[in-house]
Amino acid sequence: MSSENQELKMQLYFVNVGYGESIVIKNAEKAIVIDGGPDDKETYEEKGTIRLHEFLKKIEITTIEAMILTHLHYDHVGGLYKAASCFPVKNFYTGLITEIAPQAVSYINENLEKNISTFMRGISIYEKLLKTLTQNKVTCCEISKEDRLSFFDGQVQIQTLGISKDALLKRKNMLEKAFLDYQNPDSQKILLKFDKSENLFSLAQFVTVKNRSFMLTADQSGIARFADELQRSNVVKLTHHGQIDGMPPCLIDICKPSFFVICADINRTYNSARPEIVAAAQDYLHKESIAGKVFITGMLNKSFSLNKEVCAVGFDCTKDLTYFPVIKN
């Protein structure tokens, strides 16, 4: 059952940020933000797309209670810097926090190889984001599977899956080595290796909002490695934008969701929202006689059969789990 009621008190949104990912949990005028989508002009020329900071204004957010970055790729970190510049942020969480000298970023950007240019776009924004958060005296914390976050008097619980503190520390040392010796040509080889393995270290999270559960998989293409940490979930966000590795069997067998969400753009960039992945999710719902739905964030107008620009799908977590569109204008 769908609803367009925008007066609900606690909601979780999947925002159409084009090829990227951004998730917002709203409690009155406060929000928890998980990733920020990209930040390039071209992305937001597509119908229905909306920048994270603009979406937060639209749903009348005044404070970001927590900002969470699942990993350093541009399509996840891009919009966080602008959001942190527009709203007060109380807490910031990510897998690794390290100071990166601006001159190191500038040097590598001026001398980089083409195959790490997109990664460096993300690193450049990450460096500016951390600088802004530090200047604003925001509490910044590294999180891993050993940590459980609680917000809004325990009504929102976030458990990171799979990735240990030790594993993330090794990643941190790897990144710091590349930037400390940034004029060494080998530093770009280290960064390329880091980039190619970054999805495997992105922070998948099991989130409960009141008594509703969401399996948010980030770009964790190796999520089957820690299938024993998965839990039954009302909603599963398929991993890695619904690409070929987007729906390992454990996400269905263990989570048994009623809804699937794929964070992909209308053009299905990099073969995202692959037809066979979408079909497998739909077949599961049909086979199990579940009156659920498969949402693709870049194609939400089709999901709601609306001739309007739909910029997000929201889930009401205060009643029976209902969903509703957010119209851009």
The pLDDT value recorded for residue 3 is 41
Give the start-to-end residue ranges of the domains of the chain.
Answer: 10-327
Question: Who contacts 42 (Cβ-Cβ below 8 Å, separation ≥6)?
Answer: none
Q: Average pLDDT, whole number, for the chain? A: 92
* Strand ordering across the sheet containing 148-151: 148-151, 156-160, 205-209, 212-216, 235-237, 259-262, 293-296
- For residue 185, how far is the Cα from the chain centroid? 32
CA angle 77, 237, 309 (to 5 degrees): 75
The pLDDT value recorded for residue 7 is 40
Strand pairing class (148-151; 139-142): unpaired
Q: Which fold has domain 10-327?
A: Metallo-beta-lactamase; Chain A (3.60.15)
Share of the chain above pLDDT 90, in %: 81
Say if CB 281 and CB 273 are below 8 A apart.
no
Q: Is the pLDDT of residue 8 over 80?
A: no
H or E, element range at 282: helix 275-287
The pLDDT value recorded for residue 227 is 94
Count of residues making up the chain:
329
Token readout for 94 is 């990510």
Cα separation, 65 vs 84, in Å, equals 11
> Which carries the bigger pLDDT value, residue 154 or residue 116?
154
Average pLDDT over residues 69-91: 97
Q: Is the pLDDT of residue 69 over 80?
A: yes
Q: Is the pLDDT of residue 1 over 60?
A: no
The pLDDT value recorded for residue 4 is 44
> Which carries the bigger pLDDT value, residue 146 or residue 3?
146
The pLDDT value recorded for residue 40 is 92
Long-range Cβ pairs for the range 190-195 (8 Å, 24+): 191/108, 191/116, 191/119, 191/120, 192/113, 192/115, 192/116, 192/119, 194/119, 195/73, 195/116, 195/119
Cα separation, 239 vs 236, in Å, equals 9
